[in-house]
Chain A
């Protein structure tokens, strides 16, 4: 018996019209019945013969919760530590680079001795 979780209704649906059919193997070939497996397909249970979880599950709703927290943090720092580290590195290079540039331009503007 193969049970599927309908991600939209959050309900288990059992015994669909076609048996569990990974990799597009031909159904109806006699095989050992697997024990009940609880998996989360990305497609609805109504779509017969589909693969489960093509390239990962949908994490967008979780990320939407994270980014919509009303904590006053601007969007470029909203993810916490990793954002802060990347921002500080970029700003460090910006300020340091600008100073280095001014020094380089000052040196370049000096007349060359023959």
Chain B
């Protein structure tokens, strides 16, 4: 068998980029078909294809790293750069929504009553559930750091427990936020206040769910002995993403919930 004379990873041919691209085509055209012809078939088909692609592609990455040993130090460095660049792109994504919020709230138009919050909007009390949400996410940042140190020190049971606790806190945040959405005295259709509030916090909530799923996969991998005390980049990537989600919430809380109330 021929062995490579370099430390880099020449991947096997894979069908998942194609299936992922087709999934994107189906989801977007499906969205248009739903809007104009009231049929969700194409969009749902696209979503199923997307889920299948994500599962198999990331399953293959785990196989290549953990079972085939392809994730040498230079390869891991590339993965680190990749995750950092991805999180940076997400930062810019949220920056856009913060721009929109400050554009409308720093110079409120006469249509809003010339004030912020606009006339007729009953804002949420920032010192009730939003403050609890802040505490929950900050605590989850502590538990994920505890999990990291447990992995590095080879403490299997503690790593599993602290990681499970982090995920539980993430679900608790999502549950509390869902309750707030249900009980809120304003909707997304209530002018620019409603738009900026629900789009910014809504995308944040979606990222909390994504982060929780990422951490849940790491929990499964930790249970199955995939991580070693020296090599556990999948977990580190999940922890970076989780800290990013936490920081976005802090900005949301300070800007929209507190200053904007």
Which residues of A are in contact with B by a Cβ distance under 8 Å? 42-43, 51, 54-56, 58-60, 63-64, 66-68, 70, 74-76, 78, 86-87, 89-91, 93-94, 97-98, 100-101, 104-105, 108
Other-chain residue from B26, B48, B56, B68 in contact with A101 (beta carbon distance below 8 A): B26
Q: Which residue of B lies closest to A96 (CB)?
A: B45
- Interface size bracket, B side: 35 or more
* Residues in A whose Cβ lies below 8 Å from that of B64: 75
Other-chain residue from A55, A60, A98, A108 in contact with B66 (beta carbon distance below 8 A): A60
Other-chain residue from B11, B19, B156 in contact with A94 (beta carbon distance below 8 A): B19
CB–CB B67/A67 < 8 A: yes
CB B44 to nearest CB in A, in angstroms, measures: 10
Other-chain residue from B37, B45, B63 in contact with A100 (beta carbon distance below 8 A): B45
B5 at the interface (CB under 8 A from A): no
Q: Which residue of A lies closest to B225 (CB)?
A: A58
CB–CB B63/A75 < 8 A: yes
CB–CB B225/A76 < 8 A: no
In the complex, per-residue mask of B15-49: 1 if CB is within 8 Å of any chain A CB, else 0: 11011001101100110110011000010011011
The A interface is mostly helix, strand or loop, or mixed, namely helix
* Residues in B whose Cβ lies below 8 Å from that of A100: 42, 45
A91, B60: Cα distance in complex, Å:
16
Ordered nearest first, which 6 A-B pairs have the shortest CB separation? Answer: A74-B12, A67-B67, A58-B225, A70-B1, A90-B52, A94-B22
CB–CB B16/A108 < 8 A: no
Q: Could you give 19 example pairs across A and B, Cβ below 8 Å?
A: A42-B156, A55-B160, A58-B225, A60-B224, A67-B63, A75-B60, A75-B68, A76-B16, A87-B15, A90-B49, A90-B52, A93-B45, A93-B52, A94-B49, A97-B23, A97-B26, A98-B26, A105-B29, A108-B33
